[in-house]
Amino acid sequence: MSKLLTPSIVRMPGLLEERANMINVLGCERIHIDVSVGYSIPDFFVCGQFSLAERSLFNAPADFHVFRQGEDESYGALPFRSGDRLILHMFPWTKPESMITVVSHFRERGFAGGLSLDLGVSLKSLMPSLISMDVALIMGIEAGGYGAPLNQKALATLTECRAMIQAGHLAINLGIDGGVNAGTFEPLARLCDFLVIGGLLFNAPDIVMQWRSLNTWMRRIEYAK
């Protein structure tokens, strides 16, 4: 599987239709959608706001990165399509057992699923749970902390997770969300299967040219392995 760049659509300026048109023009193979359930996070979609009508605007498969409050399970109504994935966010206080149950339910419906590790979550404590997942997403910054520098704890967790995957020959798709910039792009791309990007792409003077440049950079890193 080739390394991917997955644009975070909440970081795009303009109306949702305009965002979707831009994403479709770029020809992205996967997009990233942050969704909050039971509470709100600035710039994130609230679960009920992102319906089938909004989902149909985007051609690419989506990663639904879900931040839920308590045991609220209304995310079951998210407009999943073929190829979409569910990624549940693990806060330090989240019970892994409940997350595993939810992901297993979605996998039974034919969707891939996995966990996102908050900065305060220990990889070691989650290893038994991660082994059965399709996706492991490491947070590079605090949730909602757009533009913040990469947290070095996240880099250490990412390195440890990559070693775990290689040692166990695990089929886990490993990604990073946040802290991806011109200075961190190459080391993160070497460790990850996919990078969630926002400002690095959408703050560029020419988004189309930036997308092409970043993908060329990614291919060079992939082929240099």
| Residue range 90-99: mean pLDDT, rounded | 83
How much is the pLDDT for 144?
A: 63
Supply the pLDDT for residue 74. Answer: 66
Of the listed ranges 70-79, 99-108, 115-124, the one predicted with least confidence:
70-79
pLDDT at 72: 58
- For residue 60, pLDDT over 90 is answered with yes
- CA pair distance 90, 34, nearest whole angstrom: 14
Residue 135's nearest CA partner among 176, 163, 94 is 176
DSSP state of 47: G
d(CA 153, CA 159): 10
Of the chain, the percentage scoring pLDDT greater than 70 comes to: 91
120-151 per-position pLDDT tens digit: 888 888 888 888 899 999 999 877 666 678 88
Compute CA 165 distance to the chain's CA centroid, rounded to the nearest angstrom.
18
Predicted pLDDT at 122: 86
| pTM of the entire predicted model | 0.92
pLDDT (mean) for 58-73 = 84
pLDDT the model gives residue 13:
66
**Dihedral, CA of residue 97, residue 100, residue 102 and residue 105, to nearest 10:** -130
Judged against a pLDDT cut of 90, whether residue 109 lies above it is answered with no
Q: In what order do the strands lie in the sheet containing 31-37?
A: 4-7, 194-197, 173-177, 135-139, 112-117, 85-90, 62-68, 31-37, 45-46
